[in-house]
Amino acid sequence: MDLGLLTLLFFGVNIDFFILLLVLLQRYHFTSVWLGYSLGVLSSWIIGALLGQTLQLLIPTWFIGLLGLIPIWMGFHDTDSTDKDFKYKSGSLAVFSLYLSACGADNLAVYVPILSTMSLLATVLTAGYFMLLVFLSLIIADRFDKIKVVDHFLQKYGSLTTRIIYIMIGVFVIIESGLIRVIIHSIF
């Protein structure tokens, strides 16, 4: 497990939601936001793990490298589907449903290629690590909420940063799967 890559993966797919966390922390109690966010991330991760592990059983690892093209494509296209006018209902449920509607499909598109190359143990350990990152990102969001420069930066460059990270993750999946080695070997 490469903790640097996993950290980049987590923050890359959740940076758009980070901006929403700033708003959610103003509307709801920290614990409600934490619970809803944790359930959203964990749900996406479990669905991605099930799909990824199934693909791993059915398809050769190098072929799964083609899935790395999905986050690369997302990096070159505008995939910000976040509905900032979401009608909030109540605490944890509102955060959970907002997370799934804003990030669910994008996160799955990035998680499945990564998870399809991980062992089951690495998948479970990574889920635990992501829960730690959820808590840390909430603490950071709670503190950042008070810094105007950070809010301005995220509003201006958050989307670009997310796109760059998606491309980097896609390239990593392609390299890690051995797809490039298979292509080079078949050409020469």
Q: Rounded to whole angstroms, how far apart are CA atoms 81 and 83?
A: 6
pLDDT greater at residue 29 or residue 64: 29
User: Could you state, in order of their start, the residue ranges of all structural domains in the chain?
Assistant: 16-187
Residue 136: band (very low, low, confident or very high) from pLDDT cuts 50, 70, 90: very high
- Tokens describing residue 87: 């009608």
Average pLDDT estimate for 128-149:
87
What would the mean pLDDT of 105-110 be, rounded to a whole number?
Answer: 74
pLDDT band (50, 70, 90) for residue 36? very high
Helix residue spans in 59-147 (DSSP H) = 61-64, 69-76, 91-115, 120-144
| Alpha-carbon gap, residue 102 to 122, rounded angstroms | 26
Reported as a pLDDT band with limits 50, 70 and 90, residue 33 is: very high
